Amino acid sequence: MRSAPLASGGRTFPRRLVGAVALGGLALLAACSGGEAPPADDVIPDAAAAMAEVQSVRFDLAVDGSVDGLSVKAADGVVTADGDAEGTGTITVFGAAVEIEYVIVGEDAYVKGFTGGFQQIPVGDDMLPYNPTILLAPDQGIAALLEAVDSAEPQDAEKVDGTDAYRYEIVFDPEVFGRFIPAEGDWNTATVWFDQETSRVLKAEFAHDGATVTIHLSDYDEPVTIEAP
């Protein structure tokens, strides 16, 4: 028995065609909202190339737990490919949490603690124990990390802050990773989320020995002007 056609706008469509279109739409919706990420070889090389071209990015770093070799508890701000940065952070000094503001312009760094104004200090000083410009540094930043992947396993397709992303479990070369985050221990395994459209990193989460370091990246290539205070 043949099914009667459906009418729409003066045209008729077989019921089987309408059903196929509906099923296709449901499949497309399911693919957009979840599913497995593509093979790593299809994504990570593009991600490394995309991150190497980034001119500026906003970051948010949070440390949950105690990480030997890393006295930063939290930090946020903007970094540029030229080696400039500005933002705020929470560091541990003599066991106490201290809120700071920082500005980095080339080789010069400035930090403002809870008292007084900005003071010029060397990058790597106890008041600025982590240099956030490393994120975009060509030889030790995110792009360099993505070019030094020992293994990567695709996980899910999901959203990060409303953006469609692919999630991977990645093991980085330990030596290259050691230049990225100076933490003691085996921290070179991470969960990383990539923007499905641009291949840029949206989020990275490193976990080891009961502690977690999480980095969110956003506002790529927004105009940024950073000046010494």
Residue 13 located in a structural domain: no
We report the CATH number of the domain holding residue 200 as 2.50.20.20
Q: Given a cut of 80, is residue 9 above it in pLDDT? A: no
Q: Which helix (H) or strand (E) holds 171?
A: strand 163-172
Residue 15 located in a structural domain: no
pLDDT at 17: 33
| pLDDT one-digit tens code per residue, 110-165 | 999 877 899 999 887 878 888 899 999 998 999 999 999 999 999 999 999 999 99
- In terms of pTM, does the model score above 0.85? no
- Please, what is the Cα angle at 172 between 42 and 105, to 5 degrees? 100
Instruction: Please name which of 37, 39, 141 lies closest in space to residue 83, comparing C-alpha atoms.
Output: 141
Question: What is the identity of the amino acid at 204?
Answer: A
Residue 95 located in a structural domain: yes
R_g of the chain computed on alpha carbons:
23
Domain total in the chain:
1
Query: What are residue 120's phi and psi, to 5 degrees?
Result: -80, 135
Residue 130 located in a structural domain: yes
Residue 120 located in a structural domain: yes
Q: Which domain holds residue 170?
A: 40-218
